[in-house]
Structure 1
Amino acid sequence: MDLLEFQSSLDQSRAWRKLELSSARSLAENYSGRSEEAYLCRAWTMIIYAHCDQLIKELSKNYLLYLSSNPRQNYDYQMAWFAFYGKESVQHNSDKRYLLCKDASEASKSTRIKELSHKEVIDGGNFKYGRLRFMSEWVLQIDLDHVKYKLFYHSLKTKRDQIAHGENITVDYISDCLAWHEKSIELIDEISDKTLDFASSHAI
Structure 2
Amino acid sequence: MDIGDFQRRLDEIRAWRKLELSNARMLAENHESGNEVSYLCRAWTMMIYAHCDQSLKLIAKEYLSFLKEHPRSDYDYNTVWLCFFGKEAIRHISDNRYGLVGSETVEAKDRFISNIGGREVFDSANFSYKLLRFFTDWILQVSFDCGNYKAFCKTLKEKRDAIAHGEEIRIQRVEDCISWHDPAISMIDSLADASIDAALRHDVTT
Give the TM-score, by structure 2 length.
0.93
1:21 aligned partner: 21
Supply the distance in 1 between the matched residues of 2:32 and 2:152 (Cα, whole angstroms): 24
Map 1:132-171 → 2, pairs under 5 A? 132-171=132-171
Q: Which residue of 1 aligns with 2:127?
A: 127
Counterpart CA distance in 2 for 1:176 and 1:200 is 37
Partner of 2:116: 116
Q: Offset at 1:106?
A: 2.6
Which deviates further from its counterpart, 37-46 or 67-76? 67-76
Q: Distance in 1 between matches of 2:74 and 2:102?
A: 19
Q: Which residue pairs with 1:11 in the alignment?
A: 11
Code of the aligned partner of 1:14: R
- The offset of 1:85, in angstroms, is 1.5
Q: How does 1:25-174 map to 2 (within 5 A)?
A: 25-119=25-119, 121-174=121-174
Q: Distance in 2 between matches of 1:57 and 1:71?
A: 20
| Aligned residues: CA RMSD | 1.5
Q: Which 4+ runs in 1 deviate beyond 6 A?
A: none
Unmatched runs of 5 consecutive residues or more in structure 2: none
Separation in structure 2 between the aligned mates of residue 40 and residue 9 of structure 1, nearest angstrom:
30
Paired residues, number = 204
CA distance in 2, matches of 1:89, 1:4: 37
Which whole-Å CA distance do the structure 1 matches of 2:77 and 2:8 have between them? Answer: 24
Contact 1:21-1:181 within 8 A present in 2 as well: yes
1:120 is displaced (CA, Å) by 5.1
Q: Is the 8 A contact 2:142 2:198 kept in 1?
A: yes
Q: Distance in 2 between matches of 1:117 and 1:3?
A: 19
Three-state SS of the structure 1 residue aligned to 2:172 is coil
How far off its partner does 1:119 sit? 4.6
